[in-house]
Structure 1
Amino acid sequence: MKIKILKDGPYLIEGSIPLYREIMVKYKMLIPERWEKVEKFETKESYALCRCGLSKNKPFCDGSHKKGFNGEETAEDKPFNEIAKKFEGKNFDLLDAKPLCASARFCIKKEGVWEAIKKEENEIEEIKQMVFNCPSGRLVLIDKNGNPVEPNFEKEISILEDNLTGVSSAIWVKGGIPIESSKGFIYEIRNRVTLCRCGKSSNKPFCDGTHLKIKFQDEKYFSGGDKKWII
């Protein structure tokens, strides 16, 4: 199983990796509580996912990148621990790598995960929920021995819809699937990462939340298509 980034082209998915669509279940206002799978796509052993944001067959590539998409990978190839800031708690600490933020907003529930980790007390399960639902892996819990506390994900990919704002979100890669750069190296293998699918991230291939700023939409679901995704 592997994801290969093609130069100025799509993500080539190899190894029969399952593909789903997930939407947000609302907690309050525009803040989500959890993700919910609403669709499983039919895929072959290998398939290509759109990276430029222009495909008319989203989430799959239809060749629209050939119109002049600049897919240069601009993300620094640095380990997570080198860019993460530590927030200390009583029994657990929180690592926060802000450049990886995909603007999913689970972390701002109630007082926010940064304040919650300081108090911890009886809130650890809620803290875990906020952290584990962070699709980009910007937030990671570690125990006092420095060991990551992570959800047990199967190797799969989810197309995310930020249905609370009416915007299409990132591509969620779960379970430690290797991602090969178009330059030939393998990015740090992680349990949770998000890849850009609007084509406008400043941290390619990873999502940086730009889809919210540009109001990126999968036309099939947000422009006169299937409105059931909008909650």
Structure 2
Amino acid sequence: MSKSVKTYSGKRLNVTYEVERCMHAAECVNSGLRSVFDNTTRPWVQPDGAEAAAVMAVIDRCPSGALKYQLHDLPQSSPETNRITPLPNSALGVRGEIKLHDESGEIAEQTQRLTLCRCGQSKNKPYCDYSHHAAGFSDDGVLGQAKLDAHFDDCTGPLAVHPIKDGPLKIEGKLSVYKADNTQRMFGNKVFLCRCGQSKNKPFCDGSHSAAGFKSNDE
């Protein structure tokens, strides 16, 4: 889980960009806020190019959490509802009060947004690094079968993400799993999600990683 973080300082807030974590969703450069996010210039992020609220709104749409902000006089925005979405032909989008662990069980990161590899090809596991594009990964983000029948009026609180060595992602906490088009959702307290790309019951793990010889040793 290597990190290369660049910081862009402004008068009201600082913006950080974690290069390896970017999945190229382009929410920033396609936001219309070219005075702040313009990848044809250097530096490509200009935090003072717009009102702080506008900059924050764009960064909050970054699915991977590669972009973050820190206001000089206020803390980061409050945690979101714990939500997992298999993005079409792409990564697992995770939002909430996330505690990402490494394979030894230690907390590697605490954040509110992640995109996690589910094609099995990322060179920066467990993060998505856009390898699904070159690999031709195909899945439309529907929900397979799972024993998730809980319901929470308040789906918040700590969400623990555990990448299992050579296996799936185990996620624990009050959680919701949404179909990509938002027409279906499930609630539960624990779920095992495929990250080898081979499950026949995506986004859930069905044990296919064993037969596929999936390895997570580049984490």
1:88-103 correspondence runs (5 A)? none
Tell me if the contact between 1:50 and 1:60 (Cα under 8 Å) persists in the aligned partners: yes
Question: Counterpart in 1 of 2:122?
Answer: 55
Measured in 2, the distance between the counterparts of 1:65 and 1:72 equals: 13
Measured in 1, the distance between the counterparts of 2:160 and 2:147 equals: 22
Greater relative contact order (Cα < 8 A, sep 6+): 1
Give the one of 160, 163, 184 matched to 1:156.
160
Gaps of 5+ in 2: 1-81, 150-156
Letter in 2 for 1:203: N
1:117-128 correspondence runs (5 A)? none
Q: Which structure is higher in helix share?
A: 1
Letter in 1 for 2:160: E
2:137 paired with 1:69: yes
Give the one of 86, 96, 102 matched to 1:21.
102
Measured in 2, the distance between the counterparts of 1:75 and 1:13 equals: 15
Measured in 2, the distance between the counterparts of 1:16 and 1:175 equals: 10
Shift of 1:79: 5.8
**1:18 aligns to what SS in structure 2?**
strand
Gaps of 5+ in 1: 23-36, 82-152, 162-167, 222-231
**1:220 aligns to what SS in structure 2?**
coil
Measured in 2, the distance between the counterparts of 1:71 and 1:219 equals: 24
- Residues 34-55 of structure 1 show CA distances to partners (whole Å, capped at 9, x for unaligned) of xxx5332225321210010100
**1:174 aligns to what SS in structure 2?**
strand
| Percent identity of paired positions between Structure 1 and Structure 2 | 32
Tell me if the contact between 1:71 and 1:199 (Cα under 8 Å) persists in the aligned partners: no
Question: Counterpart in 2 of 1:4?
Answer: 85
Tell me if the contact between 1:172 and 1:193 (Cα under 8 Å) persists in the aligned partners: yes
TM-score, with length taken from structure 2: 0.53
TM-score, with length taken from structure 1: 0.50
